[in-house]
């Protein structure tokens, strides 16, 4: 079994279980995405939602005029995402694959949104991922990242070997995430996600970085 299959199986098991109280399992967008869209930081165009999960951020973008491609390795998550999108009348092209699939065209996207994917990428593979993101973005395109801060409880040690099928991920210090991203992009914002109530129309927890 290769690593991608192991990861997909692990996330399929996760999404099959009833897990009340987990913020990203609600059909509401990230608070930072709402902030960026409503303040005009990101204007409608073509978006790629990497590790889209249940499609909550993809749906938000599609309802606001974006052309959205969304990918995830979990067939279980994508099944729910497609149902939610239909209910929301949101047109989204969902794909069960990863960001290195040849279907994703270079210089095609105005926005790549990665909410909780990069922190699951093994440290020695992160630059390859970020280089891929840079290649897929059009001129002037933007990358948005949501990633674990140390308070998430995930380990920080960059020399920790990857565990096949693990969902634990790795946390970033502020300096570590800034330094990593700045090797590929201009970092114009790096802050903590603003916490939101469990019933709020946005998802927000303060153990995540947003950039």
Q: Tens of pLDDT along 137-164?
A: 999 999 999 999 999 878 775 545 545 4
Q: Tens of pLDDT along 118-135?
A: 998 988 899 999 999 999
Question: Does residue 165 have a pLDDT over 50?
Answer: no
Q: Which of the pair, 199 or 162, is modelled with greater confidence? A: 199
Predicted local distance difference test score (pLDDT) of residue 157 = 56
Is residue 74 within 8 A of residue 94, CB to CB? The reply is: no
Predicted local distance difference test score (pLDDT) of residue 19 = 72
User: Count of alpha carbons within 13 Å of 180, Cβ hemisphere only?
Assistant: 23
Question: Does residue 10 have a pLDDT over 90?
Answer: no
Question: Does residue 20 have a pLDDT over 80?
Answer: no
Predicted local distance difference test score (pLDDT) of residue 158 = 58
| Long-range CB contacts (within 8 A, 24+) of 195-203 | 196/31, 198/21, 198/23, 200/28, 201/28, 202/28, 202/29, 202/30, 202/31, 202/34, 203/23, 203/24, 203/26, 203/28, 203/29, 203/30, 203/31, 203/56
Q: Tell me what the pLDDT averaged over the chain comes to.
A: 91
Helix axes 126-136, 174-182, angle to 10 degrees: 50
Confidence of residue 1 (pLDDT cuts 50, 70, 90): very low
Question: Does residue 85 have a pLDDT over 90?
Answer: yes
Question: Does residue 104 have a pLDDT over 80?
Answer: yes
Retrieve residue 144's tokens. 């948005």
Mean pLDDT confidence for 30-36: 98
């Amino acid at each position: 079994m290769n690593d991608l299959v192991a990861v997909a199986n692990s996330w399929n098991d996760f999404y099959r279980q009833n897990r009340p109280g987990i913020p990203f399992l609600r059909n509401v967008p990230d608070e930072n995405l709402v902030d960026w869209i409503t303040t005009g930081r990101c204007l409608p165009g073509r978006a790629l939602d990497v590790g889209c999960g249940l499609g909550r951020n993809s749906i938000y973008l599609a309802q606001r005029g974006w052309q959205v491609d969304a990918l995830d390795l979990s067939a279980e998550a994508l099944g729910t995402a497609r149902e939610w999108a239909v209910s929301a009348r949101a047109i989204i092209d969902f794909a069960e694959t990863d960001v290195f699939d040849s279907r994703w065209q270079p210089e095609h996207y105005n926005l790549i949104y990665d909410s909780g994917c990069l922190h699951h990428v093994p440290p020695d593979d992160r630059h390859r991922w970020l280089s891929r993101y840079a290649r897929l973005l059009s001129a002037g395109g933007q990358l948005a990242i949501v990633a674990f801060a140390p308070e998430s409880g995930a380990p920080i040690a960059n020399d920790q070997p990857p565990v096949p099928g693990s969902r634990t991920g790795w946390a970033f210090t502020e300096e570590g995430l800034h330094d990593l991203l700045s090797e590929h992009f201009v970092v114009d914002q790096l802050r903590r996600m603003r916490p939101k109530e469990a019933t709020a129309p946005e998802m927000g927890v303060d153990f995540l970085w947003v950039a």
